[in-house]
Structure 1
């Protein structure tokens, strides 16, 4: 869902022409899939040989949850720092030239804005891969299940983009729900790490007798949190954010991009 929201923002902010949005979306999905395969492979090897890596995964998810709540809305639409640095060094034209990455302006070869879009999508995909892989390993340590779950989730983004694009601006509490889910899974990972503890400076290297959170309970908490966040957003989100002009303008841009893409898809 985070990937979907970011794709919508990128399409709107860079004003990607609607006839090229499907191509950009597919490139984003492919980059995300490659990034996740790499991180899944690394994570699977790490948890098989180093049980203490769950401490790192859990702490990272807790930090991510706190950071997601702390970030201002303006920060969500800002370009990553690396993107800004790269684009300053690139000679980027003002207008798109079809789906080309290079164009000629007044006899001078320049990059098109499509390059900046791909760079932005690629970097955000890597960041989301770093966040999501520890989270899914908190539910299962089976590498095959983790990989296939990510593949199906990413392949469904294209349909969700056109189906839910116009609704994302209304799900104002989804961010809080996702932060709670990340924190919950972070706690689950730390409890699991304590239960399988091998670090000599914690309980003498012996497992710590702490309760573990079952997979079924985890799934129940995740589904329940998403339902509560969605219902709360639909019932009270509009009133809570009434008068928020920047958010409304951004939401309108995203809605226009999604609607235009849906019409073009027909």
Structure 2
């Protein structure tokens, strides 16, 4: 049988029954059997991952009975804390004089003259519920620059912060560099100065003298210290600070 040329010999298939590449060729069909064409291309399917066996749940820990000491410790923690000690100044009889109103009057009015803060003070002051004190620094010989002396007053006032609702102060520096003093007045709750000022660690660096506003000299000192025109021994007021 003459060899026939197959134009599609190198192609994927040939329609000629005599072409050795044709799967329907009798010689091939006898070996491989009839050809079944696939209707859908084969798709890659990844192999399934092996499932690891789940670990058995851990047994629940048994609660150990508490020891007696542990129970006592917990009971101790439940004991309420003792309330903070009340300031004895809060236990004083109620006063008709409102210190906060005085502070506002002092800040918003002229100090001297009709309608001034001093006039308001005398109209409202309760000498049973409050007292007025002169305060003087004990170590004036150690003072140098007047601005440093003013800072000394500011530090003292800062340390009196815990007594702010019981206290008003007007304290100044009188004199000049290397020759100055610190003096002024305090208006405070009650008749004893110590419970009000001992909140400041340096309170004992000052001397305190109770003033009687019915005494002309004490009254003049009180007014001058509040008006910042106080003069002592020829030393004039050069700077001051208020605690309010």
Identify the structure with bigger relative contact order (alpha carbons < 8 Å, sequence gap 6+): 1
The question of a shared fold, defined as TM-score above 0.5 by the shorter chain, is answered with no
In our comparison, the structure showing a higher alpha carbon Rg is: 2
* TM-score, normalised by the number of residues in structure 2: 0.22
Bigger fraction of residues in helix: 1
Higher percent of residues as strand: 2
**TM-score, normalising length from structure 1?**
0.20
